[in-house]
């Protein structure tokens, strides 16, 4: 399967080129909602799940948009200087550029938070009806605050305040990831917990119960905050954070297939 990588120039607060791949739908599926893949923190559009989704979409004849946030994958930009605001801006710019009439947002980890932030922005623009459905995998909503900052020892919090950065060990990368004071400060502008959270479309959450990064209690709390939409939560007892085993991926595709189109 070959797909051309294209680039969209964004000239916002930090000029950068966002890499994306657009797979056209077959004519018979042209009226079906396009799929949009939103990767996780430090992940990209050619990860295991993203590639599997691309292959599945091609076999189904469905359109798929996938891209790399600034500072990720094939996009330009400095990861250490990027923020949630910038990644939301990336996502909205790509959606505006491709001009999707209807879409199913598929977000993994941080991509789940961004999907909900993008949905809120679309609703504020009066375009909530563009969202046909949403599928979120271990959605890391408010992760900068609830899943990182609040878990840090006081001495590490103080180091970030004083020095502006902390190198966080990662189970998913060879090198420790730079986590900046700017990321935390900006993340606080986008916190969703504490009020009603909307997807503006049917939502299905897939959550592993052995997830060390996003505990399943976090997914339960998210569901409790979503009073205005149809929400289904699937807990996978043996599931980890990535949910990228062949069986997990099979479950993901079946979930997407069952969502409104």
Per DSSP, helices labelled H in the chain are: 48-60, 84-98, 110-124, 154-163, 181-187, 216-224, 246-258
Q: Give the Cα separation of 84 and 165 in Å (integer).
A: 16
Can you tell me whether residue 5 is helix, strand or coil?
coil
Banded model confidence at residue 2, pLDDT cuts 50, 70, 90:
low
Closest CA to 151 of 139, 137, 138, 166: 166
Domain 6-141+191-258 has CATH 3.40.50.1820: yes
Parallel/antiparallel/unpaired status of strands 177-180 and 165-168: antiparallel
pLDDT digits (tens, 9 = 90+) for 131-164: 999 999 999 999 999 999 999 999 999 999 999 9
Q: What's the token pair of residue 99?
A: 């001009």
The string of pLDDT tens digits covering residues 175-220 is 778 899 999 999 999 999 999 999 999 999 999 999 999 999 999 9
Q: What is the pLDDT of residues 222-238, one digit of tens each?
A: 999 998 899 999 999 99
Q: Where are the domains of the chain?
A: 6-141+191-258
């Amino acid at each position: 399967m070959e797909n051309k990588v294209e680039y969209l120039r964004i000239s916002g607060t930090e000029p950068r080129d966002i890499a994306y791949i657009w797979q056209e739908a077959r004519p018979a599926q042209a009226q079906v909602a396009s799929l949009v893949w939103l990767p996780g923190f430090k992940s990209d559009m050619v990860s295991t799940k993203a590639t599997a989704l691309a292959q599945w979409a091609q076999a189904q004849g469905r359109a798929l948009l996938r891209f790399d946030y600034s500072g990720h994958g094939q996009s330009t930009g400095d990861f250490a200087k990027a923020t949630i605001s910038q990644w939301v801006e990336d996502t909205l710019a790509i959606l505006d550029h491709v001009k999707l009439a209807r879409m199913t947002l598929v977000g993994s980890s941080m991509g789940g938070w961004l999907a909900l932030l993008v949905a809120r922005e679309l609703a504020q623009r009066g375009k909530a009806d563009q969202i046909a459905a949403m599928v979120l995998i271990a959605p890391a909503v408010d992760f900068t605050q609830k899943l990182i900052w609040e878990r840090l020892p006081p001495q590490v919090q103080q180091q970030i305040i004083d020095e502006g950065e902390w190198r966080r060990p990662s189970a998913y990368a060879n090198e420790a990831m730079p986590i900046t004071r700017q990321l935390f400060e900006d993340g606080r502008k986008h916190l969703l917990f504490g009020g009603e959270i909307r997807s503006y479309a049917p939502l299905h959450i897939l959550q592993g119960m052995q997830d060390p990064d996003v505990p399943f209690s976090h997914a339960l709390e998210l569901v409790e905050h979503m009073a205005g939409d149809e929400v289904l939560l699937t807990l996978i007892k043996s599931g980890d954070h990535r949910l990228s085993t062949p069986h997990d991926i099979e479950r993901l595709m079946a979930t997407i297939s069952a969502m409104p189109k």
